[in-house]
Amino acid sequence: MADVGQLKSHPDKLLFTHVDGVIINTQKLTKNLTVSKLAELAAIFHDLGKINPFFQDRLNQRNNGYSHHAYLSAFAFYAAFRCNKNNFDWLKKWLGVQILTENELIALLIIIAKHHGHLPDFIPKANLETEPYILNKDEIKELYTFLSKKANGLPSEEYTKRFEDFKQITSFKQLLNDDKVQNHFLDKIIFNPKHTKEYLDFFLNTQFAFASLIQADKADAMNAKTIDEDKNKIESFCKIYPETLKKYISKFQPNSELNKLRTEIREESIKNIQGLLQKDKRVFELTAPTGSGKTIMLLSLASEIIQTKANYRIMYALPFLSITEQVEKEVLDIFKEYRQENYIQRIDSKSGNQLFDKIQELLDANPSSENIKELDFLAFQEQVFAYPFVITTFVRFFETLLSNHNATLLKLPNFSKSIFLLDEIQSLPPRLYTFFVAYLTKFCEKFDCYAIISTATQPNFELPQEDKIKNFFPDYEKPASLLEHQKYFESNVFNRYQIDYWKEPINIQQLTEKIIAENNSVLVILNTIDDSKDLFKDLSECFTANELYLLNTHFTPNDRKKKLEIIKERLEKNQKTILISTQLIEAGVDIDFPVLYRDFALVSSIVQSAGRCNRNGRLENIGKVVLFNLVKDGKSRANLIYGSGKDKDILTFTKNALGLETAFEEKELLRVQKAFFDKIATELHFAKHSQKAFNLELDFLEDIKECAYAKIGKFQLIDEQTYGEQRQYYVPINKDDINFETLLDLNMEVQSKIQSQQKDWAAIKILNLKMQTLLKKMSNHIVSVRLRNKDIAPVLGHNEKYNELFKLSIDAYDSDKGVKISGEDFLI
């Protein structure tokens, strides 16, 4: 029998050195959380299977047989505690519980068995290839064949006795080859939701314990000090955060009625959160008019939480990439004195990292193992959100909360002990508003977090009056309000526009005539890209290129940014400007037009769009917003976006909320919003979601009850197939641009090295990191196009692709008109 103390977990690390490191990391990640013992237990047993002699051979590049370890770890845990009453009773004492259910044991088995994979559905559905069983039966049978020959020689009990607490457990080695035990493990590991009392607690505990184990495991395997460094950085950032923010705010003088009111709103919200924190409230709702300075307000409220409670990470999540860039710019400006500390990191598909770029340059000059490790650590740090202040998208935030995927869940432990600043919450699917808020409330209570949910449109966060929903969220209280917002919405300062509602449908030609007749600058927001292109084409005959602009997702981020800068400058100079856009401009974009036209939409979108009209209240009279119903071939264009599926009645809710009236001042919209959101809260299917991608019908309450992790993990905030399959194109800067070709060459070099007999993993790692860096640099010239079945793809500039990234022909893109493409209806 091998000396268990000399066994290895990795080629350069002893097994117990690694397991001890994982345990310590897990304890740090789950400190003071109810899930702590569960995660620690999984950490102790996760690599027991590495006592397998064939695994040890594999580390020495010899492969003589069954060398897997995760299922052996899980089965040994099962044999030790499920099949021995004394050990089972001892385990309950160690965990500090009086009852340990079969479901909880099953969850532990799965966490251990799947720690190199993804969380599965606990009640899997059968298909033609597989039986409906949580664990892989073929893998189990392979394990049993191995155990029939090797079980007696495995130092399984020597492994457990290495941990002081576990020296007390009685012998279980003989059970590893016991037919009854093996048959039960093969056929009887069956999850039954009826044996779970608090479904959401169980779901979250299992997911978080799994996530903590995999992050702890990877951090130790890399010899990364990320967890300790992260904690220290959060502590140092929180020391400078309140005073630095206060100093920045002091520069703003209340020299206008608008700025005075912004200050009043901020001060009232701060005063209210102080009292609510004393009552141990964790989730807050901030409803304030558009343009009331919510970014500074949210940062100030986070400061109060830090000063009142403890040091917390801040996560600022927003619905659109364009707004994450805007918030990043403002936050970096506030903390510019500390730029070198790398406290703040925007993490999305286009974000850069200056330190990463610097190390990459060093690597090019000196590909040393130290530089490779440094780059590895930085990549891992970003992957797990290990920064004191993270700015990210709703997609990353909410899809992480619901994920089952290993790589995504790596960051979940760093969601604990965080302050979530969620802006523009109304951008979520309407039927999921309250579900997500209730889910987030439970997460905050369990994992020591705070959340501030910000909106200008006052969603109704009350749970529907159904026993099933009330029982699922038994302790739910709607978010505590931080403002008496009605007085601010009714203030003349925030009465900046009037909406004229044209009820009679109009077509593009009629809309064109209306825009031409306007004497002022006009922003037109339409529901589809096709409509924006059609209107732009018609207006091009009447306005110069300096006066008329088109903005939609068929433009690169670089060109969108440039256009907005030019437009803002023209508006400040009072130069007539016509901007035709889609809804990408409606939330958070700081732009101010005197006249705005909006195609019919949901109340929330109408209000957000209107917020781009007379935003700063500079007009002598109030601004003009026109709400119209665009039709094409006799069909409403609004119906393309909002009029299908289970939520097809949602446009009717808007029409009913608007009622018979045809004109509304901004201060009158609060009652319209209330009527709309009350209707959503009572008449939409709560916590149910349909998406064409994966042909998915989600009932979150039932799916969480059944621990359908894999199913829930397929959730997408934007349904790829409803709006078309997203395809990405790199738009070359000029004819000499070879970035795409360089990317292909690097990828070819990686594939060549992977296929070679002598695999140089250090070189492969460097090349992969180079590709990641290059992709980030190319990102502002990458455009996403959603293609549906009948659409004709644009002309390519290269016949190869990198993953699903294509190079566009330089002639297939125009900075004035975007991607040159034809099809039926491009929606978003």
Specify burial of residue 798 (Cβ count, 10 A radius: 0-12, 13-18, 19+): middle
Domains of the chain: 4-221 (1.10.3210), 235-352+385-488 (3.40.50.300), 495-686 (3.40.50.300), 725-819 (no CATH)
d(CA 248, CA 670): 32
pLDDT at 777: 86
Collapsed DSSP state (helix, strand, coil) of residue 534: helix
Are 511 and 535 a contacting pair, CB within 8 Å?
A: yes
Q: Above 90 in pLDDT, residue 631?
A: yes
pTM over 0.85: yes
Contact 54, 63 (CB under 8 A): yes
pLDDT class for 207, splitting at 50, 70, 90? very high
Mean local confidence (pLDDT), 588-597:
88
What is the tens place of the pLDDT at every residue in 336-370? Answer: 999 989 999 999 876 666 666 666 666 666 666 77
**pLDDT value at 216 more than 60:** yes
Is a pLDDT exceeding 60 seen at residue 722?
no
Alpha helices in 151-187 (DSSP H): 156-160, 179-187
State mean pLDDT over 664-680.
91
pLDDT > 90: percent of the chain: 72
- Least confident residue range of 419-433, 466-480, 593-607, 761-775: 761-775
Report whether 515 contacts 318 (CB < 8 A).
Answer: no
Give the pLDDT band (50/70/90) at residue 372. confident
Q: Is 48 exposed, middle or buried (0-12, 13-18, 19+ CB in 10 A)?
A: buried
**pLDDT band, residue 586 (cuts 50/70/90):** low
Does pLDDT of 700 surpass 50?
Answer: yes
635 bridge partner residues: 632
164, 330, 333 from 565: Cα distances, Å? 65, 16, 18
Averaged over 55-76, what is the pLDDT? 90
Bridge partner residues of 481 (DSSP)? 285
Q: pLDDT-based confidence at 817, cuts 50/70/90?
A: very high
Q: What confidence score (pLDDT) does residue 337 get?
A: 95
pLDDT in tens, 765-815: 778 878 888 888 898 899 988 876 667 889 999 999 998 899 999 999 999
Tokens of 480: 């505590």
- Higher-scoring residue by pLDDT: 350, 556: 556
| For residue 469, pLDDT beyond 80 | yes
Task: Tell which residue, 662, 636, 655, has the closest CA to residue 506.
Answer: 636
For residue 797, the model assigns a pLDDT of: 93
pLDDT at site 683: 83
Mean pLDDT within 611-640: 92
Rounded Cα distance between 536 and 467, Å, is 52
Query: What percent of the chain lies above the pLDDT cut of 70?
Result: 94
Expressed in percent and rounded to 5, the helix, strand and coil fractions of the chain are: 55, 15, 35
Query: In sequence order, what are the residues at sequence separation of 6 or more whose Cβ sits closer than 8 angstroms to the Cβ of residue 684?
Result: 430, 431, 646, 647, 650
Window from 219-233, 253-267, 728-742 with minimum mean pLDDT: 253-267
10 Å CB burial of residue 771 (0-12, 13-18, 19+) is buried
pLDDT tens, position by position, 415-452: 999 999 999 888 888 889 999 999 999 999 999 999 99
Angle at 241 between CA 565 and CA 259, to 5 degrees: 50
Tens digits of residue pLDDT in 237-295: 999 999 999 999 999 887 788 889 999 999 999 999 999 999 999 999 999 988 888 99
pLDDT digits (tens, 9 = 90+) for 657-671: 999 999 999 999 989
Lowest mean pLDDT segment, chosen from 146-160, 352-366, 381-395: 352-366
Q: What is the mean pLDDT of residues 49-64?
A: 89
Two structure tokens written together for 544: 């110069």
The residues, ordered by sequence, that sit 6+ positions from 492 with a Cβ below 8 Å of its Cβ are 667
Identify the pLDDT of residue 526.
97
User: How much is the pLDDT for 321?
Assistant: 79
Q: 3-class DSSP state for residue 756?
A: coil
Whether residue 640 has pLDDT greater than 90: no
Residue type, 380: F
| Higher local confidence (pLDDT), 74 or 728 | 74
**What SS3 state is found at 136?**
coil
| Segment among 1-5, 48-52, 207-211 with least mean pLDDT | 1-5
Among residues 305, 345, 344, 319, the alpha carbon closest in space to that of 449 is found at 305
Give the pLDDT mean for 556-571: 94
For 485-498, the pLDDT digits (tens) are: 999 999 999 999 99
Q: pLDDT of 167-181, one tens digit each?
A: 989 889 999 999 999
Q: With the CA atoms of 45, 51, 57 and 59 taken in that order, what torsion angle do they form, in degrees rounded to the nearest 10?
A: 30
Let me know: does 544 contact 574? Beta carbons within 8 Å.
no
pLDDT in the model for residue 828:
47
What distance in Å separates the CA atoms of residue 84 and residue 190, rounded to the nearest whole number? 19
Q: In this predicted structure, what is the pLDDT of residue 684?
A: 83
Is residue 313 classed as helix, strand or coil in its secondary structure? Answer: strand
State how far the Cα of 201 lies from the Cα of 33, in Å rounded to an integer: 13
**Which amino acid is it at 512?**
T
Residue 102 has pLDDT above 90, yes or no: yes
What pLDDT was estimated at residue 363?
63
Q: Which tokens hold the place of 291?
A: 């343009």
Average pLDDT, the chain: 91
Neighbours of 177 (CB within 10 A): 16
Say if residues 404 and 254 touch (Cβ distance below 8 Å): no
Asked whether the predicted pLDDT for residue 823 surpasses 80, the reply is no
Is pLDDT larger for residue 742 or for residue 62?
742
66-75, 120-129, 146-155, 691-700: which has the minimum mean pLDDT? Answer: 120-129
Give CA 356 to chain center in angstroms.
22
- What pLDDT is attached to residue 405? 98
Residues 6+ apart with CB under 8 A from 184: 83
Would you state the pLDDT for residue 691?
84
Q: What are phi and psi of 632, to 5 degrees?
A: -140, 125
